[in-house]
Structure 1
Amino acid sequence: MREILSIHLGQGGIQTGNACWELYCLEHGIQPDGQMPSDKTVGGGDDSFSTFFSETGSGKHVPRAVFVDLEPTVCDEVRTGTYRQLYHPEQIISGKEDAANNYARGHYTIGKEYVDLVLDRVRKLADACTGLQGFMVFNAVGGGTGSGLGSLLLERLSVDYGRKSKLGFTIYPSPLLSGAIVEPYNSVLSTHALLEHTDVAVMLDNEAIYDICRRSLDIERPTYTNLNRLIAQVISSLTTSLRFDGSLNVDITEFQTNLVPYPRIHFMLSSYAPVISAEKAYHESLSVAEITNSAFEPTSMMAKCDPRHGKYMATCLMYRGDVVPKDVNAAVATIKTKRTIQFVDWCPTGFKCGINYQPPSVVPGGDLARVQRAVCMIS
């Protein structure tokens, strides 16, 4: 089995992680206490969800994840939240004092004390895997823990697990919504580690996601919960093929093969469509061509970056839900004829497309509408 370990660092990483696991549980029909009524086999069945969950003898499903923060409040939210019975208590590691938005404290002073404990937990999880394929690291690089401890951990993972791929989901700070004045320094300092020690890094930017929430979901003042649920949909769509039977990007290494032209150019822009509120979805149905078009709109991008000013090097389109190849081919052909999307001249205008028949789930009481089909673009 090809398992993946998720590592969530700092407040941003943990809260996004919480939203992701909440969504994974809904998609796989796993209850907050880890029981899965639909799964009849106790113990390790060869199901595709076991890339993300391990199953105990009592039939409980435990996420293959580690949550780390240098201060206790966010970890305590997980320990007392709805999904408190889901996680193994040893997988949540919290320190006593935080890194105070200081990269050096996260990387050298306080982070150093905890990194061995974290690696020890990671090793325990890795030992429980039959064929570990890699790591997914979630962090926000504005804070001290996410940036400092994040870089330290990536460096150590490269040493301990040199051949395994590492996929980073990184939340970058934005000037409009700044939590601390030193966020730009933390981001720059940790970008070095992301360059050297991750194989694919997906960029997410608070400002862009805020704008999407405001524009498409009519939320006047989006909270972090709104942002995280949207991020969770994107990450869920990117990992659908790892968790259900799919055709494209079934393996973490495939992301690298399909998307990275040169090893150092591995920062990805992602977008997700349709982001639509329940009231609107009730009145309109979205065809494959429409969601494909909106995935390439600059306003759908999960980072403030206008792709019209640059050129694409590689693109993957991952459809999920009620989608047939014929529609996908037609939609992609239309986009190619529009010529608004420029590819670099040394790279063929290839769109890799994958279809997964599992429709997107939504969190009950969330902002996103339940739709029949969705697309996630990563380029």
Structure 2
Amino acid sequence: MYVIKMSPFQWHPVIYEVFVDLEPKVIDEVCTGSYRQLFHPEQLITGKEDAAITMPVATTPLARNCLALDSICKRADQCTGLQGFFVFHSFGRGTGSGFTSLLMERLSVDYGKKSKLEFSIYPAPQVSTAVVEPYNSILTTHTTLEHSDCAFMVDNEAIYDICRRNIDIERPTYTNLNRLISQIVSSITASLRFDGVLNVDLTC
């Protein structure tokens, strides 16, 4: 979520993060990794079971019980002027598809007037790791369509090609891909973070 917070001198944007996964493996790596001191444990939320990489499993009551709304509500209550939410997720896996669909639906109900910007990673056949990814993508696209104010789609294969052809990285890592995506996010949010005659609020 992104907010405008009041300092003694001026308003400035502040980001509050919540990381969610229905199985603990990936977030456990964050908790024990070199960036563990950047995040409070309440920001890192995991389930006890895997979503089995499928959207239907991720939309069961198990996922609902794991829903991170309590953590999001706590951070929203801390905001002087909540502007909206950034939602980062993949379309091909269980948490990114099914759980995110539920989450965005709840955000629409609880924070209907706040903008929701969606940054999505679309799977590609050439770099796919699961046969169910196309099905998850179709179901998630249909479900999240009415709950997103603006969606930025990143094609998995295309971003690999950009790294290879434009940046001369023969074997891109997740770090390379994430840094490239972060440049997209940085450019999109520049008008929110910097003052200027041509810059506008994302919620206008």
Shared fold by TM > 0.5? yes
Aligned residue runs from structure 1 range 254-269, under 5 A:
254=204
Aligned residue runs from structure 1 range 78-117, under 5 A:
78-115=30-67
The answer as to 2:93 corresponding to 1:143 is: yes
CA contact (8 A) 2:21 2:46 kept: yes
Aligned residue runs from structure 1 range 78-227, under 5 A:
78-115=30-67, 118-227=68-177
Encode CA deviations 1:50-74: one digit per residue, 9 max, x unaligned.
Answer: 4234xxxxxxxxxx01000011121
| In structure 1, C-alpha distance between the alignment counterparts of 2:60 and 2:200, rounded to whole Å | 37
TM-score (norm 1): 0.51
The answer as to 2:189 corresponding to 1:239 is: yes
CA contact (8 A) 1:154 1:193 kept: no
TM-score (norm 2): 0.92
| In structure 1, C-alpha distance between the alignment counterparts of 2:196 and 2:144, rounded to whole Å | 28
CA contact (8 A) 1:194 1:201 kept: no
**Percent of aligned positions that are identical:** 62
Q: Secondary structure at the match of 1:82?
A: coil
Q: Secondary structure at the match of 1:176?
A: helix
| In structure 1, C-alpha distance between the alignment counterparts of 2:123 and 2:83, rounded to whole Å | 30
Aligned residue runs from structure 1 range 1-379, under 5 A:
4=2, 44-46=7-9, 50-53=12-15, 64-115=16-67, 118-248=68-198, 250-254=200-204
CA contact (8 A) 1:4 1:51 kept: yes
Aligned-pair CA distance for 1:250: 3.3
Q: Secondary structure at the match of 2:18?
A: strand
Q: CA RMSD in A?
A: 1.8
Aligned-pair CA distance for 1:119: 0.5
Q: Secondary structure at the match of 1:241?
A: helix
Name the structure with the higher helix share: 2
CA contact (8 A) 2:22 2:46 kept: yes
| In structure 1, C-alpha distance between the alignment counterparts of 2:29 and 2:9, rounded to whole Å | 33
Unmatched runs of 5 consecutive residues or more in structure 1: 6-42, 54-63, 255-379
Encode CA deviations 1:125-149: one digit per residue, 9 max, x unaligned.
Answer: 0000011011110100110000000
Which 4+ stretches in 1 moved above 4 angstroms?
Answer: 45-48
Aligned-pair CA distance for 1:83: 2.4
Distance 1:219 1:47, change over 3 A: farther
Encode CA deviations 1:158-208: one digit per residue, 9 max, x unaligned.
Answer: 000111111100110011100111001101111123211000001111111
Unmatched runs of 5 consecutive residues or more in structure 2: none
| In structure 1, C-alpha distance between the alignment counterparts of 2:190 and 2:173, rounded to whole Å | 26
| In structure 2, C-alpha distance between the alignment counterparts of 1:46 and 1:237, rounded to whole Å | 25
| In structure 1, C-alpha distance between the alignment counterparts of 2:195 and 2:33, rounded to whole Å | 31
| In structure 1, C-alpha distance between the alignment counterparts of 2:93 and 2:9, rounded to whole Å | 39
Distance 1:201 1:90, change over 3 A: same
Q: Secondary structure at the match of 1:253?
A: coil
Question: Which residue in the other structure is 1:29 paired with?
Answer: none
